[in-house]
Amino acid sequence: MDVILFYILAFFAVAGGLLMVSLKNPLSGAFSLILSLCSLAGLFAMLHAEFVFILQVLVYAGAIMVLVIFTIMLLNLKEEVLHEAPVGWMRAIFTATLCAAAAFGAIQIFGHVEPQGIQVAPEFGNMETIGRSMLSDFVYPFEVISLILLVAIVGVVLLAKKVI
């Protein structure tokens, strides 16, 4: 059951990513990326990561992708703006081969981990555990992240203003 579910979710994640990279219209690409992100959310759920699963659906597939789609629709791109120079296929295949070799080589060489994960408690990865960890061990990074988000908000408001 787990195996079949993993392969279905992995298939949709990879298919969504491939469609996003290959489709010409960015709006179709955004919807394929949402498919990919939702499949990844399912994989997070399979890994007992309840908190990350909720964040993935809420923040990634929800907030960030809504922002992207909003921008695409706001720009109202015409056909001639979307025209791109065609990709050199030889170069693309060469890069893909190199990337695949690098990735699988790295996992083969450095991935000396036991194939089976250990059993975890039922409360592993839920809100309470992560919340406690975030406000005890990771309290300084947590504060810095809030500062980064504040700076990002101010920067976006400044950038999007018509006249500075």
Q: How far is CA 30 from the centre of its chain?
A: 12
Smallest distance from other proteins to CB 10, Å: 5
Retrieve residue 106's tokens.
């790295």
Smallest distance from other proteins to CB 97, Å: 11
CB 125 within 8 A of CB 49: yes
For residue 158, CA distances in Å to 12, 80, 163 come to 38, 30, 9
Smallest distance from other proteins to CB 27, Å: 9
Retrieve residue 2's tokens.
């787990």
Retrieve residue 43's tokens.
């994989």
Nearest to 84 by CA among 34, 28, 43, 23: 23
Smallest distance from other proteins to CB 147, Å: 11
